[in-house]
Amino acid sequence: MGSSGKFFVGGNWKANGTKESVSKLVSGLNSAQFPSEVDVIVAPTFIHLPYVVENIDSRYQVSAQNCWVGRAGAYTGEIAPEQLTDMSVPWVILGHSERRSLLEEGNDFVGAKAANALTHGLKVIACIGETLEQRETGHMYDVLEGQLKGVADNVVNWTDVVVAYEPVWAIGTGKVATPDQAQEVHAFIRKWLAEKVSQEVSAATRIIYGGSVNDQNAAELASKGDVDGFLVGGASLKADAFATICNARAKVPA
């Protein structure tokens, strides 16, 4: 029932933001209040990372949205993990469904990227999730297991890994998994980690939910035992809404 770690809320800004809007968002986030026992991470675009690192309050941690599978070198357009750590960026999101579908990143490739990022000192938010067709045709757990295996086959130390379950059918669609649907899958992930990796990793790894999380549904989702936090898309671009989500666990009755 849940991880032993802090509640975790990540804000994935995706390919959004201008100098003006990012400055306004950072200002709003700096004024926001949330419990100290919550880890809050924001993930701007690559071009906005330096500004956010320098200007956001130290209560927040900063994440990149992707990184290269190898070391720095002749890889035009890519960002190597050691460049992120050099910029004081401690986190990276890997395996997001948009990269899996639009850029055809496979399970083994995502796993290799995760291992490489960890080797270079980054912490990883590893994303998994099924499409609506995969869910409705009964292949959901096979898909999730394959995505988890891609990470587990490559990662040795899970201390700095957070698993984000993001059903593809709920990302940017306004649809959201019911709290019971989210809990069912999170429990499956935790059981899989216990059986395929170790009981210790299962107990310690934070499993967070992503998929149209907003300030209206976050508290109910946070009430489920195996939901250790959220990876937030659109709502993370609004400081007030994101702050409400960061307080979701605090609103759950004891």
Locate 53 and state its tokens: 């690192």
Spatial separation of the C-alpha atoms in residues 126 and 110, rounded to whole Å:
8
Q: Express each pLDDT in 75-130 by its tens digit.
A: 999 999 999 999 999 999 999 999 999 999 999 999 999 999 999 999 999 999 99
Residue 96 is a catalytic residue: yes
What are the boundaries of each domain within the chain?
Answer: 7-251
- Max Cα distance, the chain (Å): 53
Q: Express each pLDDT in 18-32 by its tens digit.
A: 999 999 999 999 999
**Catalytic residue of the set 48, 96, 120, 186:** 96
pLDDT band, residue 254 (cuts 50/70/90): low
Q: Express each pLDDT in 216-228 by its tens digit.
A: 999 999 999 999 9
Q: 163 has which bridge partners?
A: 126, 207
Q: Where is 112: in which H helix or E strand?
A: helix 107-119
The predicted structure's pLDDT at residue 207: 98
Spatial separation of the C-alpha atoms in residues 76 and 90, rounded to whole Å:
23
Locate 198 and state its tokens: 């170790």
pLDDT band, residue 2 (cuts 50/70/90): confident
> Helix, strand, coil shares of the chain as percentages rounded to 5?
45, 15, 40
Helices marked H in the chain — which ranges? 19-31, 49-55, 81-86, 97-102, 107-119, 132-136, 140-152, 179-196, 199-204, 218-222, 239-246
Spatial separation of the C-alpha atoms in residues 228 and 154, rounded to whole Å:
23
Within 10 angstroms of residue 133's Cβ, the number of other Cβ atoms is 11
Locate 16 and state its tokens: 């959004």
- SS3 (DSSP) at 92: strand
> 225 near 2, Cβ under 8 Å?
yes
Spatial separation of the C-alpha atoms in residues 127 and 151, rounded to whole Å:
10
- CATH architecture assigned to 7-251: Alpha-Beta Barrel (3.20)
**Catalytic residue of the set 48, 82, 166, 186:** 166
> 127 near 97, Cβ under 8 Å?
yes
Residue 220 is a catalytic residue: no
Spatial separation of the C-alpha atoms in residues 219 and 238, rounded to whole Å:
17
Check the CA dihedral 209-215-216-220 and report its sign: positive
Total-model pTM: 0.96
Compute the average pLDDT of residues 225-249. 97
